[in-house]
Copies of this chain bind each other. A is one copy, B any other.
Amino acid sequence: MAASSHRFQAPKGTRDFYPPEMAVRRHLESIWREVSINHGFDEIEGPTFEHLDLYTVKSGPGIVSELFSFRREGGDVDYALRPEFTPTLARMYAARAHTLPSPTKWFCIENNFRAERPQRGRLREFFQWNVDVIGDDSPRADAEVIAVAIGVLERMGLTAADVRIKLSHRESVSHLLSDFGLPEDRHAAAFDLLDRRDKLDPDIYEAKADHLGFTEDMRERFQRFTQRSISRADLHDIAVETHVDPGRFEKMAHVADQLEMIGKGDWIEFDLGIVRGLAYYTGTVFEIHEASGNERAIAGGGRYDRLIELFGGPPTPAVGFAMGDVVIRLVLEDKGLLADAETYLPRPDVFLITAKQEHDAAAATLLANLRRDGFHVRHTYRSTRNVGKLLGEANKTRARFAVILGDEMSDGRVALKNLEAGEQRDVALDRLTRALREALDR
């Protein structure tokens, strides 16, 4: 029976997070959160599902097959699990545009859902970190969100040699396509196709391109401009060659200028092959890739200056990006930048050992009191009173201290053992909290 073979497993493309896997997830999330906050971003969140037409209004009905959509039994409203966060963010901003600060700087750590075939780096449920600056149309805002991404990559141990931030600009690529002779009303479709060109079968790519009027000659010229990352001088030359005012063509250079000013220029390269598939991007677009190019993009984003208006808000410039949890974890693992999952589990402050049964009641009270005082305290569930064995169990939990209730209890004292240094001393029971605070530097 199909039902019984799968029902006790996680659905395909989703994950069970047992404690070690969960600890790694929390480790990545805490870096995302802390770096976002340090950069002055405020955390938000929205519903896990939205009205289906929040997605179709922007992307058309074609997106429905990529979504998990549903209705309430007997209801008449269509919902969909969120495939990305930007529509929710645009809706939330639009609803309060007139009372929010300018710029509004938001981040969000949330889960997204895609009804597609799971593959390496791509799951049906995954976690994503979103960072957005809303209400600032200057290159400074573009650079600010990229700087947060760099902040996270640095905190994870990555360097500009490991990871490349590939910067492009929708208007620049559009100028190229116009110069090739592709009418402007086909550019959005061309962006979508070009974004997928490395993932499509070459024959299918060619057929779709021909159908679009993106001819073999255009494809070859595009290939020539995008076969390698390019310099500022190249940008200027391309502008001249394609008969565009170089000033208009070099907007992405202004973003790079801002990042150079703060010493992050070495993370950036220009790559006109980056177009991003989503219809809503209007200006700067960028992707972050592992330097070898072997994995999917670690992150991607760009400027979407017309989206908030589309969702009922005032005309508002905005720029942002998202980084999923799946690819960054593969990259960190490949580079040896993740320790054994167990090391991310919270370390106990104290392992409590009751050497004699007569102290069981006192131990239970002490346990409760230490936890109330904010200490992470563990103890054995085995029946042994063998202190040596119990110290072994304490070490396995990676506890920092052992507190032993033994003979010293007759004087109202317990043994406090530093499990790293191996030192042991007696402490009066009523001074134990203070002694632990000092020892743990709290």
Contacts and interface: CB of A to CB of B under 8 A. Distances in A.
Interface of A: 3, 6-11, 14-19, 22-23, 25-26, 34-35, 37-40, 42-51, 53-54, 57, 64-65, 68-70, 72-75, 77, 79, 81, 88, 91-92, 94-96, 102-103, 106, 111, 113, 115, 125, 136, 147, 151, 154, 258, 261-264, 311-312, 345-346, 348, 361, 364-365, 367-368, 371-372, 374-379, 381
Contacts of A346: 37
B70 A45 contact: no
Nearest to A375: B38
Q: Copies of this chain, how many?
A: 2
- Which of A9, A42, A49, A81 counts the most chain B CB atoms within 10 A? A49
Contact of A376 (B3, B37, B51, B81): B37
B345 A262 contact: no
A368 B263 CA distance: 9
A11 B73 contact: no
B79 A68 contact: yes
Given A22-B43, A38-B374, A368-B147, A8 B91 contact: yes
Contact of A11 (B64, B65, B79, B368): B79
A170 to B, nearest CB: 25
A374 B113 CA distance: 32
Contact of A377 (B38, B81, B345): B38
B136 A18 contact: no
Which 7 residue pairs spanning A and B have beta carbons closest together?
A70-B70, A14-B47, A19-B42, A262-B368, A17-B45, A40-B378, A72-B115
Contacts of A11: 47, 49-51, 77, 79
B19 A103 contact: no
9 contacts: A8-B91, A8-B94, A16-B95, A17-B46, A18-B96, A35-B371, A48-B113, A69-B70, A154-B372
B77 A72 contact: no
A3 B92 CA distance: 17
A406 B433 CA distance: 46
Given A18-B44, A47-B14, A91-B8, A73 B65 contact: yes
A151 B34 CA distance: 27
B312 A40 contact: no
A23 B379 CA distance: 33
